[in-house]
Amino acid sequence: MAEIELTSVLTCPQCGHKSSESMPTDSCLYYYECQGCGSLLKPLPEDCCVFCSYGSVPCPPIQQARLDAACEKTTDGGCCQ
Ligand SMILES: [Zn+2]
């Protein structure tokens, strides 16, 4: 089982405020209110949640998808067994 990072540092695009937030593993956080300026952050059009758009690491489902994609590229049976 590969490591999934469950804490992401969100950076507000309006004021630059950084906040370390824990991420739910089974859902996406679509709205986030900046603790610095009060802006309501929403994901960019191509992203599923605010962590993917503004976080230091993307949300757990995306991390898992990337791990799965990397696993399929290995020739020795993969890393996810
Ligand atoms: Zn802000």
Domain enclosing residue 29, as ranges: 8-73
Q: Could you tell me what percentage of the chain is helix, strand and coil, using 3-state DSSP and rounding each to the nearest 5?
A: 25, 15, 60
Positive or negative, the Cα torsion across 43, 12, 3, 78?
Answer: positive
CB-proximal residues (5 Å) to ion ligand 1 = 12, 14-15, 17, 34, 36-37, 39
* Ligand 1: centre distance to CA 3 (Å): 30
Number of domains in the chain: 1
pLDDT tens, residue by residue, 18-31? 999 999 887 778 99
Tell me if 19 is assigned to some domain: yes
Q: Is residue 81, in this structure, part of any structural domain at all?
A: no
For residue 79, how many other CB atoms are within 10 A of its CB? 13
Residue 79 lies in a domain: no
The arithmetic mean of pLDDT across residues 2-29, rounded, is 92
| Residue 17 near residue 37 (C-beta atoms within 8 A) | yes
| 80 neighbors 71 (Cβ within 8 angstroms) | yes
Note whether residue 29 is domain-resident: yes
Contact 4, 26 (CB under 8 A): no
Above 60 in pLDDT, residue 71? yes
